[in-house]
Amino acid sequence: MATDAAARRQTGPVRSDPAGVPVWTVSERVHAPGPDHHAETVYTVGNGYLCTRGTPEESGEDQWRTTFAHGVFDPVPLFVTELANLPDWTSLAITIAGEVFDTSRGEIVSFLRELDLRDGTLTREVVWRSPRGLTSILRFERFASLADEHLVALRVEVTPERAAPVRISSPLHSYAPSRGDGTTWVQHASPVATLVDGPAGRPDTIGLHVRTMAQHYEVAVALRHHARGDVTGQAHWELPGAPALVHDFAAGPAAPATLAKVGAYQTSRDGEADVAAAALRRAREAPTYEDVLAASRAAWARRWAACDVEIEGDDDAQLAVRFGLYHLIIAAPAHDDRVNIGAKTLSGFGYRGHVFWDTEIFMLPFFTYTMPDIARNLLDYRWHNLAGARTKAAGNGCAGAQYPWESADTGEEVCPAWLLGPDGVELVRIWTGDIELHISADIAYAAHQYWQVTGDDDWYYGHGADIILETAQFWASRPTLEADGRYHMRDVVGPDEYHEHVDDNAYTNAFARWHLTLAVALFEELRASRPERASALRRALGITDETLAQWSDIAGRMAVDHGEDGLIEQFEGYFDRTDVDLAAMEPRTRSVQAILGIEATNRTQVLKQPDVLMLLFLLRSEFDREALRRNYDYYTPRTDHRYGSSLGPAMSAIIAARAGLPEDAYQHFMLGAQAGLKDPRGNAADGIHGASCGGTWQAVVLGFAGLSVSEEGWTVDPRLPAHWRRVAFRFTHRGELQHVEIRNEELTA
Ligand code: BGC
């Protein structure tokens, strides 16, 4: 359910968007007292190397303050691994005339918090009257540099209404207390050393060097401070494992107290032996706050030039789309091909930073079409982790490589087998890590799509072929040939996770068939055009003519039923399950599974997400428009879109748009697009659901605009909602930037 605070957040321009200029800011003018974890997620800043939640600088009640850096995972004792919560650079303690700045005391005279999506800066301006009646203006600004991904920067300016002493202290703690969700309350990193640097007797830089408990990742952060104003004192304090720099100012209406910190993060994953020395060096060599900001702004401008989507006639949709793209950009590793984007990006504790099919099916297309270098990094993460996938396949008695349902740093399965259920008491068995198989085909699909859009033959016939062929070996070993002469895939979970232990899930089987067919074609292409590579693969993987014949045979006889009237049964026996009238369950604020329970929901036809519709979209060349309409009409009223999963709405939007129902499509689209901003499910405190951000981009570009890429080139087939006056977007096709503009029925490319 949407929280009050979420409802208060503006979805339109406040300050920096002159009338008529497309929206770029998420903002709020009303201060929400007390914890607001959703806001911490929304206002996350980052740069693809690290992200920091938008927790206010001053400490307060129950904050989920943290910085996450890609790839720095650490196991929770007796449980699974998760992203480590790292020392955080944003804390400040401010006193004005001896009174501690604390928004829960005194009075907030005015408040404006804004995230500028254009350049990734988060600002907050608070006019605060202290309990003793002194009014001050406090302006905060922070960002993570997109130009130099090791750098972060924050500035505060305090202006009291009359002359007053101001003290700004900048503390650094070895970790920010993580929330306790019943399973985790873990300090992942313990201090190795505190760091101090700068002129003798007057240090301007403090830092921390920490090491994670189990994996022994090393992380160092160094913060260099620049004070401006009438500085009357400066001191370096140190509690065990927690250094602080304190500045005293004589401030007044014409003499604000200003403190900027430019920080540098370094982890042992970066390959430098001495992380502490490297962080200190980076902080020392970094330019001023203003110069770091200018470079970051220029980098943001370059990013948006490659990927912006403009929607005229609908500011809410415009902002939601840009908000999603912003969150994808700040989570996307630009220079690292051994990490990937977790389901909740780097913006929260949800799903512990684990990587799911959310990347390949929902987020990756955005990168493939607009930032192919980043897409390749994300795909190479899977290539580097083939060993983990082989281990998983072998553990299940299968051949080849089976990708884990949840993946972290090593590529082994990290899906927890048990989790606390919705009542917070009972443990629930999680089957997805055991039997949700389709992710292996999803990854092959993404690899093939990357090749189609980019034409990157070297990658496709190299790493792409390794991924596709080894996972094909898995698909050839998992189904069973039965008495009816067909191959069946028993005991699986499809994308709709309300149904467990089902047979012949249509999505899984159709994808396995598609995958095996692709693998045969790919190997034949290799034999024809790159015989040496084909021979090497034949030797390494044991692929022979018999193998190819077997793959074709399995694909040809895979149990996939389209039904006589084009209606696809989601899995064997689905139509026999109880039909529930979802409308009759209204009003409700919880998922069907939370209301009915896991077992009872399993016995119904209610879906968490529209499995069959996803299949129709992804393998669209296999289905005609009638099939889209027929399946859309059947499955939509049975899908728990609002509370089930935020992955589904974008897919339903695309199918509805392609089936000629643009207004239906729009309703689905907005539900998915606003998942992070409006928090309809009440779970965005845990982080931004990256899949809904990526799905939103696909709904506009591949759904409403109908972009489609093939060997011959690309085409669009627009079906816009009636009130959208204009849609424009960019993408890169085979190395060339394309600009598409659709106005009503007119089309410019
Ligand atoms: C969805 C999965 C998804 C996962 C992570 C689950 O609730 O059912 O499809 O991969 O969340 O986002």
The 10s digit of each residue's pLDDT in 533-556 is 999 999 999 999 999 999 999 999
CA distance readout (Å), 142 to 44, 119, 244, 296: 10, 11, 19, 12
Q: How far is the centre of ligand 1, averaged over its atoms, from the C-alpha of 645 (Å)?
A: 7
Write the DSSP symbol of residue 174. Answer: S
Instruction: Point out the ligand 1 atom lying closest to the alpha carbon of residue 354.
Output: 5
Kindly report which listed range (240-249, 450-459, 559-568) carries the lowest average pLDDT score: 559-568
Of 341, 355, 435, 497, the residue with max ligand 1 atoms within 8 A of its CB, to mutate for a pocket test, comes to: 497
Q: How far is the centre of ligand 1, averaged over its atoms, from the C-alpha of 56 (Å)?
A: 30
Helix axes 648-658, 611-618, angle to 10 degrees: 60
Is pLDDT at 12 greater than 50 in this prediction? no
Cβ-contact 238, 244 below 8 angstroms: yes
Is pLDDT at 21 greater than 80 in this prediction? no
Instruction: Point out the ligand 1 atom lying closest to the alpha carbon of residue 351.
Output: 5
User: Is the torsion defined by CA of 346, 348, 352, 354 positive or negative?
Assistant: negative
Is pLDDT at 6 greater than 80 in this prediction? no
Q: What is the pLDDT of residues 579-620, one digit of tens each?
A: 999 999 999 999 999 999 999 999 999 999 999 999 999 999
Q: How far is the centre of ligand 1, averaged over its atoms, from the C-alpha of 286 (Å)?
A: 40
Read off the pLDDT band of 561 (50, 70, 90).
Answer: confident
Q: How confident is the model at residue 8, as a pLDDT? A: 60
User: Is the torsion defined by CA of 564, 565, 571, 576 positive or negative?
Assistant: negative
d(CA 49, CA 144): 9
Q: How far is the centre of ligand 1, averaged over its atoms, from the C-alpha of 510 (Å)?
A: 20
The pTM of the full predicted model, rounded to 2 decimals, is: 0.96
If DSSP codes are grouped into helix, strand and coil, which group holds residue 23?
A: coil
Q: In the chain, where are the structural domains located?
A: 5-303, 308-748
Cβ-contact 616, 662 below 8 angstroms: no
d(CA 77, CA 307): 41
Q: How far is the centre of ligand 1, averaged over its atoms, from the C-alpha of 223 (Å)?
A: 37
Which residue's C-alpha comes closest to atom 7 of ligand 1?
Answer: 645
Per-residue tokens: 738? 């394309």
Cβ-contact 635, 656 below 8 angstroms: no
Which residue's C-alpha comes closest to atom 1 of ligand 1?
Answer: 645
Per-residue tokens: 97? 């005339």
* CATH number of this structure's domain 308-748, picked from the four choices 3.30.465.10, 1.10.287.1770, 1.10.3720.10, 1.50.10.10: 1.50.10.10
Read off the pLDDT band of 3 (50, 70, 90).
Answer: low
Instruction: Point out the ligand 1 atom lying closest to the alpha carbon of residue 344.
Output: 12
Q: CA-CA-CA-CA torsion for 645, 647, 650, 651, nearest 10 degrees?
A: -100
Cβ-contact 513, 452 below 8 angstroms: no
Q: How far is the centre of ligand 1, averaged over its atoms, from the C-alpha of 634 (Å)?
A: 22
Cβ-contact 431, 500 below 8 angstroms: yes
Catalytic site residues? 497
Is pLDDT at 149 greater than 80 in this prediction? yes
Is pLDDT at 746 greater than 80 in this prediction? no
Q: How confident is the model at residue 34, as a pLDDT? A: 84
In this predicted model, which residue has the larger pLDDT, 180 or 150? 150
Of 347, 357, 358, the residue with max ligand 1 atoms within 8 A of its CB, to mutate for a pocket test, comes to: 358
Q: Which residues contact 12 (CB under 8 A, 6 or more apart)?
A: 23, 315, 316, 319
Total Cβ atoms within 10 A of residue 491: 12
Q: How far is the centre of ligand 1, averaged over its atoms, from the C-alpha of 356 (Å)?
A: 7
Instruction: Point out the ligand 1 atom lying closest to the alpha carbon of residue 647.
Output: 9
Q: How far is the centre of ligand 1, averaged over its atoms, from the C-alpha of 608 (Å)?
A: 10
Per-residue tokens: 418? 């048990």
Which residue's C-alpha comes closest to atom 2 of ligand 1?
Answer: 495
What's the gap between Cα 584 and its chain centre? 34
d(CA 714, CA 733): 8
Of 492, 645, 688, the residue with max ligand 1 atoms within 8 A of its CB, to mutate for a pocket test, comes to: 645
Total Cβ atoms within 10 A of residue 605: 21
Cis bond upstream, residue 587 (ω within 30): yes
Per the listing, tokens 């009759």 go with 584
Which residue's C-alpha comes closest to atom 11 of ligand 1?
Answer: 645
What's the mean pLDDT in 683-700? 96
Topology of domain 5-303, CATH: Beta-galactosidase; Chain A, domain 5 (2.70.98)
Of 327, 344, 356, 432, the residue with max ligand 1 atoms within 8 A of its CB, to mutate for a pocket test, comes to: 356
Q: Which residues, listed in sequence order, are joined to residue 730 by a DSSP beta bridge?
A: 739
Which residue's C-alpha comes closest to atom 12 of ligand 1?
Answer: 343
What's the mean pLDDT in 28-43? 91
Read off the pLDDT band of 565 (50, 70, 90).
Answer: confident
If DSSP codes are grouped into helix, strand and coil, which group holds residue 159?
A: strand
Sequential DSSP letters for 59-98: --SS----EEETT-EEEPTTS-EEEPPBP-S---EEEETT
Instruction: Point out the ligand 1 atom lying closest to the alpha carbon of residue 496.
Output: 8
Which residue's C-alpha comes closest to atom 6 of ligand 1?
Answer: 645
Residues for the chain: how many in total? 749
Is pLDDT at 426 greater than 50 in this prediction? yes
Read off the pLDDT band of 424 (50, 70, 90).
Answer: confident
Average pLDDT, the chain: 93
Instruction: Point out the ligand 1 atom lying closest to the alpha carbon of residue 405.
Output: 10
Is pLDDT at 35 greater than 90 in this prediction? no
What's the gap between Cα 224 and its chain centre? 30
Q: How far is the centre of ligand 1, averaged over its atoms, from the C-alpha of 358 (Å)?
A: 7
As for ligand 1, residues whose beta carbon falls within 6 Å of it are 343, 351, 356-358, 495, 497, 608, 645, 647, 691
Q: How confident is the model at residue 185, as a pLDDT? A: 54
d(CA 454, CA 437): 27
Kindly report which listed range (25-39, 111-125, 437-451) carries the lowest average pLDDT score: 25-39
Which residue's C-alpha comes closest to atom 9 of ligand 1?
Answer: 495
Instruction: Point out the ligand 1 atom lying closest to the alpha carbon of residue 357.
Output: 10
d(CA 249, CA 230): 5
